[in-house]
């Protein structure tokens, strides 16, 4: 089966003042095409940080993330945006919607970029 997501030894830290807090410490994941995966853990355990790292929405300190064969660290912001828009799907815990658009328009808006090509 084709591997869609591969992460190798992801390390991600955040700074709070002078302190550095390691949230992900050498996380490696492989997810195959068509596979359903749950990420569970207590609040503050790094679930959201992992999802942001696997999608390229957040940078990592060290390690590698590949999505459908592409090394996310080698892609520009525009290429990452295109990849997320065309090949990934997200359901956010607390969605941020554009206030001047209704729900349907918020959903359709990202696909409008596809029509400009």
The tens digit of pLDDT for each residue in 62-108 reads 999 999 999 999 999 999 988 988 888 776 666 677 778 888 887 78
Q: Quick one: average pLDDT of 35-49?
A: 91
pTM comes to: 0.77
**Residues 91 and 72: beta-carbon distance below 8 Å:** no
Helix (H, G, I), strand (E, B) or coil at 116: coil
d(CA 92, CA 88): 13
Cα 109 to Cα 2, 12, 34, 77, 102: the distances in Å are 30, 31, 26, 19, 11
Q: Which of 28-42, 43-57, 68-82, 95-109 has the lowest mean pLDDT?
A: 95-109
> Which CATH number does 3-87 carry?
3.40.50.300
Indicate the length of the chain as a whole number. 117
């Amino acid at each position: 089966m084709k591997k869609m997501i591969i992460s190798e030894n992801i390390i991600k830290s955040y700074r709070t003042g002078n302190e550095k807090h390691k949230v992900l410490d050498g996380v490696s994941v492989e997810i195959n095409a068509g596979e359903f995966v749950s990420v569970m853990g207590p609040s503050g355990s790094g679930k959201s940080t992992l999802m942001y790292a696997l999608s390229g929405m957040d940078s990592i300190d060290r390690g590698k993330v590949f999505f459908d064969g592409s090394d996310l660290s080698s892609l520009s912001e525009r290429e990452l945006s295109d990849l997320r828009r065309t090949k990934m799907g997200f359901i956010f815990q607390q969605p941020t919607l554009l206030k001047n658009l209704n729900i349907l328009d918020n959903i359709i808006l990202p696909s409008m970029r596809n029509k400009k090509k």
